[in-house]
Amino acid sequence: MKKLATLLVIAIALVVIGCQAPQNVVTTEQLDAAKAEISALKTQVTNLQAALDSLTANYNAHLEKYHKGAAKIPSGGKPPSGGLKPIQK
Amino acid sequence: MRWLSTIAIILAFVVFFGCEKTPTLEAPNVSYTVSPSDSGGTLELSWDEVTDADGYIIYADGAVIDTVTTISYDATTPAALYEVSAYAGDQESDKDQIDCGAVETASLIVYGSGDTASTHPSGFGFNASHVAVAYAISDSTNWPYIDYWIHSVSSSVQEFASPSQAGYNSEVNTTQNSQQTNYDAVTICAKPGNYTAPTTINANAVYYFWIDPNDDGWGASNDYFGKIQVLGVNGYQITLKIAYQPIAGLRWCVTP
């Protein structure tokens, strides 16, 4: 009986100690998770770079299309001296 | 024998409950569209369902404004930042956020077109970072970048004008006096209908602006809104404070 009791106490101790979160110890799972996260971040950076390139290209296309294409060039670079034709929208 | 049973029961409890971990609630992945139903006054937020979530908490500029059990939310209160988190019981996930703040140019000096100094810039436009930049209209290489220019009616009367009205480029961009002088109180631009060009410039007034490059009415593809406060008028010289909403079609103009 005493032996059984001792075994129980040891079992409890093992369970309690076993359930404690490890301190300052990096497990393989954590390491793998960190690696996966870094890999995902690298992918995100690549995607962001692609998005930025696309945005820059769109911006340049916008400038080309809407600011250059149909422009009527005022003579001598001087703005109209009289009143402007009103626009309301 | 009885104490042995007690220990066994305790042991059973420890084994069953001791190692239980609370599952982590994932943050929702929020996306948005600008609502055409009220010409850009509403930001429609949506996200995928988060496993185990009871619902979602909506924040506007850091304050809780609503909780929902749906996976979408129509944001009608203008703000600079919207955030959404998931919750389950008393557990809350991290927040995902949508930056909807206007980009501010604190001070920009431009001059009426009647100013005799040719190097004094009369035009301004927005660069890729959404910051307002002044451009000399005497230099034709600047014309593609001009979104507005200052037209002089006289030495004491200046107007916001559209670049199309001088042929600098084809954009038909307009403004509207908000009839307010409190810049921060203007959080949303008016719907299209009463935007004009030219528009007389009054000191201290706050104006809405609407950039409509292809002059096809409100659209969420390449129209942009914002506000301009006239900080000072000194003859031809005009000092402006400007806030530009980078989300196409959205009429909000809250600065962070």
**Domain identity same for B200 and B114:** yes
CA angle B35, B256, B85 (to 5 degrees): 65
**Domain identity same for B205 and B94:** no
First to last CA, chain A: 95
**Domain identity same for B133 and B73:** no
B174: left (phi over 0), alpha (psi -120 to 50) or beta: beta
> Which residue of B4, B161, B193 is in closest CB contact with A84?
B161
Per-residue pLDDT reduced to its tens digit, A18-30? 656 555 667 778 8
Higher pLDDT: B18 or B38? It is B38
How confident is the prediction for chain B on average, in pLDDT?
A: 93
A81 Cβ contact partners less than 8 Å away, ≥ 6 residues apart: none
How far apart CA B184 and CA B32 sit, in angstroms, is 25
Per-residue pLDDT reduced to its tens digit, B61-88? 999 999 999 999 999 999 999 999 999 9
Task: For residue B1, tell me if it sits in a domain.
Answer: no
pLDDT band at A6 (very low <50, low <70, confident <90, very high): confident
**Domain identity same for B64 and B113:** no
In DSSP terms, B33 is beta-bridged to B44
We report the CATH number of the domain holding residue B74 as 2.60.40.10
Residues of chain A contacting residue B8, judged by C-beta atoms under 8 Å apart: 8
How far apart CA B224 and CA B148 sit, in angstroms, is 13
Q: Is the pLDDT of residue A76 over 60?
A: no
Going through A1-89 in order, the beta strands assigned E by DSSP cover 87-88
User: Domain end: B99, B127, B153, which one?
Assistant: B99
| For range A59-63, the mean pLDDT | 67
| For range B212-240, the mean pLDDT | 96
Higher pLDDT: A86 or B12? It is A86
How far apart CA B100 and CA B80 sit, in angstroms, is 5
Task: For residue B189, tell me if it sits in a domain.
Answer: yes
What residues make up the domain containing B182? 103-244
Domain total in chain B:
2
| For range B97-123, the mean pLDDT | 94
Task: For residue B161, tell me if it sits in a domain.
Answer: yes
A84 to chain B, minimum CA–CA distance in Å?
7
Task: For residue B229, tell me if it sits in a domain.
Answer: yes
**Domain identity same for B189 and B239:** yes
Residue type present at position B77: T
**Domain identity same for B199 and B79:** no
A31 to chain B, minimum CA–CA distance in Å?
19
| For range A50-78, the mean pLDDT | 61
Task: For residue B131, tell me if it sits in a domain.
Answer: yes
- At residue A21, the pLDDT reads 55
**Domain identity same for B226 and B183:** yes
Question: From chain A, which residues contact B within 8 Å (Cβ)?
Answer: 1, 4-5, 8-9, 11-12, 15-16, 18-19, 56, 59, 62-63, 66-74, 77, 79-80, 83-89
Q: Of B23-27, B110-114, B154-158, which range is least confident?
A: B23-27
Task: For residue B251, tell me if it sits in a domain.
Answer: no
Chain B, residues 29-88, CB within 8 A of chain A, namely none
A36 Cβ contact partners less than 8 Å away, ≥ 6 residues apart: none
User: Domain end: B53, B80, B99, which one?
Assistant: B99
User: Domain end: B60, B80, B99, which one?
Assistant: B99
**Domain identity same for B233 and B108:** yes
> Which residue of B146, B149, B195 is in closest CB contact with A89?
B195
* SS3 call for A81: coil
In DSSP terms, B224 is beta-bridged to B211
- At residue A71, the pLDDT reads 40
**Domain identity same for B80 and B140:** no
**Domain identity same for B208 and B153:** yes
The answer to whether the Cα torsion of B5, B10, B11, B16 is positive or negative is positive
**Domain identity same for B129 and B68:** no
Going through chain B in order, the beta strands assigned E by DSSP cover 30-34, 43-47, 55-60, 63-68, 72-75, 81-88, 91-99, 103-111, 123-126, 132-135, 148-152, 158-161, 174-180, 196-197, 199-200, 206-211, 224-234, 237-244
Per-residue pLDDT reduced to its tens digit, B200-214? 999 999 999 999 999
**Domain identity same for B159 and B225:** yes
